[in-house]
Amino acid sequence: MRTSQINRETNETKISLYINLDGTGQSTIDTGIGFFNHMLTLFSKHSGYDLNLTCRGDIDVDYHHSVEDVGIVLGQAICEALGKKRGIRRYGNALIPMDEALVQTAVDISGRSFLVFGLEIPSQKVGNFDTELVEEFFSALTREAKLTLNMQQISGKNSHHIIEAAFKSFARAMRAATEPDPRFSDAIPSTKGAL
């Protein structure tokens, strides 16, 4: 089983996270941030990853530390669960509509961290969630998971729809990229022999 359990505590956040890449999309999410919980639940469901996550952060200050640190820990857990990355497909992409919004995400489990964040979210908040934190989350996750992520918004006017399409397209792209490839079950998908 490709799983990881990570506990991380700082002066700003205390996070416990368990992930199973070969799950069925079951999740228990509690970050204290309603909209963020919703997005992470969507991510779990559409990636097929089982995800148990609790975060106790200084949300009385703002949501920045919690969102970024969850990105850090989730990225670390994905990287650890993938191990040497033998037998995975490596690449994944997904084009996902959410009403008027359309977002395309491409992923390369490359061992190199690079983020192209092409979302233009029109409002500063969805409820009480700062929309600029979406990029902070994906930046932290990309860095720690050591993956190349290119996320492009093709259309959309509603901030909630754009962000939801982004999380769903990321989930589906990750599902495709981390799936075992039965044709190359013990191979590392790189001519270098390492990722």
Phi, psi of 150 (to 5 degrees): -120, 115
Please say whether the structural domain 3-184 has been given the CATH code 3.40.50.2300: no
Q: What percent of the chain has pLDDT over 70?
A: 100
- Residues 134 and 119: beta-carbon distance below 8 Å: yes
Q: Rounded to two decimals, what is the model's pTM?
A: 0.96
CA-based nearest residue to 89, from 191, 192, 194, 190: 190
pLDDT tens readout for residues 119-133:
999 999 999 999 999
pLDDT of residue 190: 75
Average pLDDT along the chain: 96
pLDDT tens readout for residues 63-97:
999 999 999 999 999 999 999 999 999 999 999 99
